[in-house]
Each structure stands twice: as C-alpha cells, then as structure tokens.
A and B are shown apart, each in its own frame.
Chain A
Amino acid sequence: MAWLALIKPGDWLVILLGMLVVGISFPLFWQGGLADRAIVRQNGQIFANLDLRAKRQLAVPGPLGQTLIAIEPGRARVVSDPGPRQYCVRQGWLMRPGEIAICAPNRVSLQITGRTKVYDSISY
C-alpha cells in the first residue's frame, strides 16, 4: 500500500492512542450499559419491576384510567395514556438506563434501569 508508507512510526503510535481514546470513550460516556429492567411506578409506589428481555404488555390503573405500557427486548414505552397532553406517550421508546417517561395526570411513571445505577441531573 502506497498510503501506508506515508505513516511514520510516531503516527502509528498516535493512531493507536486515538483508538484507545475512542475505545475508552464508549463505556465512559455511555455508562450504565444496556437497559436491563423497567420500573413502573403508580402513585410513587413500585407497581412492577420488569425484565427487559421478554416482550409483553402491561396495563397500569390510575385515577384517570389505564396507562398501557409495552416492553420489548431492550426497550420499553408508554403505548397509551388517558392524560390530556400525552407527553409520556410521545417520548416513544426508552432504551437507555436512567430514561424515564412520566404520565403525571395518571400518576404513572416508567423508568429504565441498567446494571449500574445512573443518576440524572436532578438527583444530586
């Protein structure tokens, strides 16, 4: 390769260093690993703690009606909610640890957790 001849020994070192930085940055900045479990809360109490491996649906009763939650391998979402503004539904799929969809009117929340606990900016 004519192009490879242009790389000096120190350059290889720098490329290797760059690869190392890239390699470290993935676990460093995408900490928390993969989504592991989904915690569904109703009125602040844990309603269900679900494994994110199997596909399933869950109906959570609240003061306004039923909030429907869908679990799929590695992700979860609020499918429908009787709340007026539908913020938690429009959030779509949650797939990263620490992500949370809150259906405040119906007092239901859906949170994703991973192996390690991740804090969001509110919790300190």
Chain B
Amino acid sequence: MTPSVIKLKVTDEDRRIAWLATAAVGLSLVDAAIPSPLPGVKPGLANIVTLVVLARYGWATAVWVSGLRVLAGSLLLGYFLAPGFFLSLTGTVFSLATLGLTRHLPARWFGPVSLSIFAAFAHIGGQLLLARLWLIPHDGVFLLTPIFSLAALVFGTINGLIATKLLNELPSQPEPSCA
C-alpha cells in the first residue's frame, strides 16, 4: 500500500515560467555557440526573453525565468558552480536589480531598449566587480572595461530592439500552449 503521495499543485503561472525559461535556456545555448573574440563578450540573447517577460508578466516572473535560465543553462553547458556560473549569476542579479529600478521609468519615453541597455551595463559592471574581487584580484581586469561597455551598448541596443519588436508583434499573448 502506498503511503500518501505528495502532490505538487502546478499552477498556470508555474507552467508559464517553465516555458519561458525553456525559451531563455534555448537562447543561452545559441549564445554559447556563437564564437566570441573575447570571453565575456556575448550577445546575451536570452535577455530578450527576460525583457519580454518583464514587460508582459512583471518583475517577479522575470526573476524566476532568469534564475532558472542561469541554473539550467549552466547545467546544460557544463559550467554549473564553475567560475563562469558565478559570473553569470552575478551579472543576472545585477541586471535584474537594475531592471527592477528602471522599469518604473515612464513607458511613454523609455522602451525596452533603455531597460536593455541599463541591464547590459549592470551585467558587465557586476561581472567586472566579481572578477576583480575574486577571480583576478588585480586592477588589470579593468582594462577590459571599455571593450565590455562597448559590447554592452551594442548588444543591449540590439536585444532591446528585438524585444520591442516581439512585444509589438505579439500583443497580449495568450497562454503559451503546452503542445
């Protein structure tokens, strides 16, 4: 006889987060496949999902989706708990905190492009800080700042544009179908 089975109730919100996180993880994999001239300079395509989720479902959902993406992405790419994982986590924490603040900017004037750029700069800022404090305790790391900030500006703008386009083309999207 089986004792009582613990049954977790799966809400629609859970399903939605799972689907969106899957999309983000997929984009992380695409990201990792793109060759990069310098470690750390990446398009960060998964942030498009974060931006769309933030605009559609709010900050809390965006935190869930990003958090799951970092965790699952690192497991799939095999750097879970390696330095790259902590860099990724720090960048995500910093950019989510920044998104939490900047999403209150008047939407009439500031679109996802602004949020994306702010988040990208916060992302590299956090990563450089962690790298300086922990991985490479030498001011030499900051020599990379100009290159990273240029990448943040370029990719932040592009990702923000893609997110804006997606938000415009999928107006008030229905539940992600579980097909």
Contacts and interface: CB of A to CB of B under 8 A. Distances in A.
B105 interface: yes
A14 B110 contact: yes
A19 B168 CA distance: 26
User: Which secondary structure dominates chain B's binding surface?
Assistant: helix
A29 B168 CA distance: 39
A7 B143 contact: no
Nearest to B114: A14
A29 B110 contact: no
Interface in B97-141: 105-106, 108-111, 113-114, 117-118, 121, 138-139
Contact of A25 (B114, B118, B146): B146
B43 interface: no
Interface string A1-20: 00100111111011100110
Contacts, number: 69
Interface in A86-114: none
A21 to B, nearest CB: 6
Interface stretch (B68-76, B87-95, B155-163): B155-163
Nearest to B163: A6
A6 B121 contact: no
Contacts of B153: 15, 18-19, 21-22
B139 A121 contact: yes
A11 B109 CA distance: 7
B121 A18 contact: yes
Interface size on A, as a range, is 20 to 34
Contacts of B15: none
A14 B117 contact: yes
A49 B153 CA distance: 41
B79 interface: no
A11 B146 contact: no
Counting chain A CB atoms within 10 Å of each CB, the highest count among B110, B139, B146, B164 belongs to: B146
The 6 closest A-B pairs by CB, nearest first: A10-B109, A10-B110, A11-B113, A18-B153, A14-B114, A6-B164
A11 B114 contact: yes
Contacts of B109: 8-10
10 contacts: A6-B111, A8-B109, A8-B113, A11-B111, A14-B118, A15-B153, A18-B156, A18-B157, A25-B146, A26-B146
